[in-house]
Every structure is written in structure tokens, then in C-alpha cells.
Amino acid sequence: MATPEYIKDLRTQIGHQELFLPAVTAVVLKRTDDDGTELETPEVLLVKRSDDGRWGATAGILEPGEEPAAAAAREVQEETTVLAEPVRVTGVSDHGQVVYPNGDACRFLDIAFELKYRSGEPAPGDDESTAAAWYPVDQLPEPFVEQHRERIRWALDSGAPGQFKD
């Protein structure tokens, strides 16, 4: 996740102290091919992170005043150049603490969304990722962001209510 300017400003005041931040994970699914025929195995849009080389769903931090669903669609377009439409919230969870190499600590409250593919060919849209591609949901590449496996399972269960951790 690229660091938004408002967080950089906060860091000048609080240093490396843990921040609690709202974030989204955007699981873009392709359930049909271009002619509308249902795919035998759905595909998921993934990015390869430039910081650690792991594959995962698109994710990012909300900007102040930004609606979570809009943030999910924005992150997908920025990171993959693909246009996608939010379908539903699939889950809400604590993504866990992250400590960056410079010592900055964050804990993310993650709102996971299922998004429907609309258009575009996957390609890295910014410097946060080195690759973007569709993968069958049963053939995820390695190494992979472990929390995103769960987010993908949530999105695949289209009839399920939102998931919550105990």
C-alpha cells in the first residue's frame, strides 16, 4: 500500500507508533467469459506486490471522507488498470499488525469486498505492484498473502452474508 499524504503528516508527529487504519481488500472475480458463458472455475484478479514479491488481491487504505466501496474500485483501477464494480461486503476483520522496514507500525481494520469485472486488461498501474493477472481461484500463485486466501473464499460464496472474526 502506498502511504497516503495524511499518514505521512501524522508520522511527523507520532513517529513509528502504531496507527489504526481503515482499509479495503478488493476481490475481483470473473465468473463468465467474454461471451457470457459461465467459467468452470472462476478467476480472480491478483497483483504481485513490489515490496515483498507476494501475490494477493488488491488492497489499500481509505482516504479521509472516502466511501469504502469507492475505495475498493479505486484501488483496483490504480493498481491493475481494470475497471470493476463493487457487488457486496464479504467480511470485516482485523488484518493484523504490520511493521514496515522503517519501523512504522500499523493495524488495519479491513473491509473485504467482492467486485465484478467490467473491463480492461490487467497491468501494473502504479509502483505498488510488478504484475497483475487473472488466476483460476484453485491455482493461486506463490508466494501468496495468506489473509487474502480467506478474503477470496468469502467472495466466492456469493450467497453468504458478511463474515466476521470472533
Q: pLDDT tens, 23-78?
A: 999 999 999 988 889 999 999 999 999 989 999 999 999 999 999 999 999 999 99
Coil, strand, or helix at residue 56?
A: strand
Q: How many CB atoms lie within 10 A of CB 119?
A: 8
Please give the radius of gyration of the chain, using alpha carbons only, rounded to the nearest integer: 16
What is the reported pLDDT for 166?
65
What is the reported pLDDT for 4?
85
What is the reported pLDDT for 1?
55
DSSP string, 77-140: HHHH--EEEEEEEEEEEEEEEEE-TTS-EEEEEEEEEEEEEEE------STTEEEEEEEETTS-
What is the reported pLDDT for 148?
95
Q: Is the pTM of this model over 0.85?
A: yes
Please tell me the distance from the alpha carbon of residue 18 to that of residue 81, in angstroms, as a whole number: 31
pLDDT band (50, 70, 90) for residue 96: confident
109 forms beta bridges with 22, 94
Tell me: the pLDDT tens digits for 104-127? 999 999 999 999 999 999 999 999
Query: For the domain 22-158, what is the CATH superfamily, name and number?
Result: Nucleoside Triphosphate Pyrophosphohydrolase (3.90.79.10)
